């Protein structure tokens, strides 16, 4: 029996145009920070401090991976460099009380029982985010069974691996076993577990019970959406459509890649690098059926390029999350800074990134008067160093990457006067207002050759 969701008052929805997100009656542009697997993997990370910082800076969304088993040995012979010590890891499932050890030296997992420490942490995190008016995105599967090599022994620590108490073979290459289920379209979670089941049915049963628990614990909060799969950087097996329907029929907000655009609520971008991400955002803004387009991962992860990537994607109408756990100034810089035991974190660099995210979030969500009417209009800017999001005749937002000036075509609005303000994406501050008139193309001189945003609105 699938539980009814008629009683739920889900707060996340698509905006009327389909490009943006409605939350508690407000149209929002999601600019967020991603704590990836770290926040739920390591109980020493203070997620409340993280959420407090996000809200202080103006960030309205965060993102998490639901789990990744710790890749460490209890005797300290193997540690994860991002933490630098043997941390108290958790996963959704409980450990056995006795029997042979798993690869990490702790007791093997019992995949028929949940670890309530994990669920208490996740529930409190989502409730606390809601109290700060923050939306939470959660990537649900598959715990990163991607690699099993001497340099990347991820699968050897996975709870589903038979050496760790699971029921899938200890593969020596990339496996699809974690992503292969017994009966797509037919649910099995309400059946009584049997050790005689084939591995694919056990896989399906465990994943379905996990998914159902996520929905039961979090969906009623109204500030949570769910994302399918870790990055789509390895095969999804045969369960993508199965779990799309599983979550959707239970009233959850579901995000997945462009191949499922017609059936999902949000579309996730591929993982791609590069400072200038505008072309991808604009292309997907105009695809049909219309969906909010979300970037969850892809470099650069340090330096000025982070800000450029954020703004070029956002000014193209795409929602942007910063992947906050790798590729930064030190191996420990990032979301790991919220674990007081982590050494060598560039805390100020991490805070700088959060400020940049917050400044962009406030620009789009607090300064733009009618976000719903804004669309990419790069044809209005006269050079390759600037991009435009606009509701022509009413409101214009321009981001200029470099150069001393750019041109904006206002020839279609004769007789109107606009108020302009340059916005510094490094500090979140505006320069003095100025006025300009429509009826022609207008050249705007920037304060300097660095990146700047311009907001142009009608004079009242």
The boundaries of the domain holding residue 305 are 12-367
**Does 427 share its domain with 354?**
no
What distance in Å separates the CA atoms of residue 238 and residue 328, rounded to the nearest whole number?
35
Within a domain: 6: no
CATH number at residue 157: 3.20.20.80
**Does 228 share its domain with 254?**
yes
Cα torsion 186, 192, 197, 200: sign: positive
**Does 381 share its domain with 290?**
no
Sort strands 135-139 and 224-227 into parallel, antiparallel or unpaired. Answer: parallel
**Does 397 share its domain with 289?**
no
What distance in Å separates the CA atoms of residue 13 and residue 16, rounded to the nearest whole number?
9
What is residue 254's predicted lDDT score, i.e. its pLDDT?
98
Give the end of a domain, one of 367, 400, 433. Answer: 367
What is residue 416's predicted lDDT score, i.e. its pLDDT?
87
Give the end of a domain, one of 324, 347, 367. Answer: 367
3-state secondary structure of 390: strand
**Does 179 share its domain with 237?**
yes
pLDDT in tens, the chain (460 residues): 444 443 344 589 999 999 999 999 999 999 999 999 999 999 999 999 999 999 999 999 999 999 999 999 999 999 999 999 999 999 999 999 999 999 999 999 999 999 999 999 999 999 999 999 999 999 999 999 988 888 889 999 999 999 999 999 877 666 789 999 999 999 999 999 999 999 999 999 999 999 999 999 999 999 999 999 998 999 999 999 999 999 999 999 999 999 999 999 999 999 999 999 999 999 999 999 999 999 999 999 999 999 999 999 999 999 999 999 999 999 999 999 999 999 999 999 999 999 999 999 999 999 999 999 999 999 999 777 999 999 999 999 999 999 999 999 999 888 889 999 999 999 999 999 999 999 999 999 999 999 999 999 998 7
What is residue 1's predicted lDDT score, i.e. its pLDDT?
40
Within a domain: 206: yes
pTM: 0.96
Give the end of a domain, one of 317, 340, 367. Answer: 367
CB-based contact 430:422 (threshold 8 Å): yes
| Cis bond before residue 142 (omega within 30° of 0) | yes
What distance in Å separates the CA atoms of residue 13 and residue 4, rounded to the nearest whole number?
18
Within a domain: 165: yes
Within a domain: 63: yes
DSSP 107: B
What distance in Å separates the CA atoms of residue 324 and residue 67, rounded to the nearest whole number?
16
CATH number at residue 414: 2.60.40.1500
Count the neighbouring beta carbons within 10 Å of the beta carbon of residue 45: 24
Within a domain: 202: yes
**Does 390 share its domain with 248?**
no
Query: For 254, phi and psi rounded to 5 degrees?
Result: -125, 135
Q: Which residues pair with 435 in a beta bridge?
A: 419
Instruction: Locate 293 and state its tokens.
Output: 């387009």
Instruction: Locate 307 and state its tokens.
Output: 């800000």
DSSP 38-69: HHHH-TTS-HHHHHHHHHHHT--EEEEES---
**Extended beta strands in 239-342, E state:** 254-256, 266-268, 293-295, 319-323
Number of domains in the chain: 2
DSSP 4: P
Q: How many helices (H) and strands (E) does the chain have?
A: 8, 22
Kindly state the helix (H) or strand (E) to which residue 421 belongs, with its residue range.
Answer: strand 417-424
**Category of 112 on φ-ψ map: left (φ > 0), alpha (ψ -120 to 50) or beta:** alpha
Instruction: Locate 438 and state its tokens.
Output: 């429509």
**Does 280 share its domain with 397?**
no
**Does 307 share its domain with 209?**
yes
31 closest CA partner among 265, 317, 383: 317
Within a domain: 5: no
């Amino acid at each position: 029996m699938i539980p009814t969701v008629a009683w739920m008052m889900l707060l996340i929805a698509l905006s009327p145009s389909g490009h943006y997100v409605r939350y508690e009656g407000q149209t929002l542009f999601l600019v967020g920070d991603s704590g990836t697997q770290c926040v739920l993997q390591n109980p020493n990370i203070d997620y409340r401090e993280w959420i407090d910082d996000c809200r202080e800076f103006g960030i309205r969304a965060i993102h998490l991976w639901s789990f990744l088993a710790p890749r460490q040995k209890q005797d300290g012979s193997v540690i994860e460099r991002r933490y630098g010590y043997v941390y108290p890891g958790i996963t959704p499932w409980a450990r056995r009380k006795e029997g042979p050890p798993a690869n990490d030296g702790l007791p093997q997992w019992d995949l028929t029982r949940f670890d309530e420490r994990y669920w208490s942490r996740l529930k409190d995190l989502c409730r606390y985010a809601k109290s700060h008016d923050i939306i939470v995105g959660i990537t649900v599967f598959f715990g990163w069974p991607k690699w099993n090599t001497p340099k990347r022994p991820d699968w050897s620590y996975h709870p589903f691996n038979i050496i760790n108490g699971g029921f899938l073979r200890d593969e020596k290459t990339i496996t699809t076993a974690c992503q292969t289920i017994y009966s797509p379209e037919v649910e099995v979670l309400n059946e009584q577990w049997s050790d005689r089941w084939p591995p694919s049915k056990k896989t399906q049963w465990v994943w379905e019970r996990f998914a159902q628990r996520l929905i039961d614990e979090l969906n009623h909060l109204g500030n949570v959406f769910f994302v399918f799969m870790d990055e789509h950087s390895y095969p999804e097996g045969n369960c993508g459509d199965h779990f799309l329907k599983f979550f959707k029929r239970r009233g959850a907000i579901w995000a997945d890649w462009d191949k499922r655009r017609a059936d999902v609520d949000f579309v996730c971008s591929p993982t791609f690098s590069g400072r200038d991400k505008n072309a991808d955002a604009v292309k997907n803004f105009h695809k049909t059926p219309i969906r909010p387009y979300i970037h969850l991962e892809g470099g650069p992860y340090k330096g000025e390029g982070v800000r450029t990537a954020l703004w070029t994607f956002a000014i193209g109408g795409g929602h942007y999350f910063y992947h906050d756990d790798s590729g930064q100034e030190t191996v420990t810089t990032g979301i790991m800074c919220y674990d007081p035991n982590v050494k060598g974190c560039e805390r100020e660099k991490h805070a700088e990134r959060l400020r940049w995210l917050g400044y962009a979030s406030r620009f789009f969500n607090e300064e733009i008067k009618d976000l719903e009417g804004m669309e990419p209009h790069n044809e209005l800017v006269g050079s390759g160093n600037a991009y435009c999001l606009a509701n022509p005749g009413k409101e214009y937002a321009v981001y200029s990457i470099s150069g001393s000036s750019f041109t904006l075509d206002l020839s279609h609005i004769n007789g109107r006067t606009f108020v302009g303000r340059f916005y510094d994406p490094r500090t979140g501050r505006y320069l003095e207002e100025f006025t300009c008139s429509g009826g022609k193309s207008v050249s705007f001189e920037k304060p300097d050759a660095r990146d700047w945003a311009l907001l142009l609105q009608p004079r009242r």
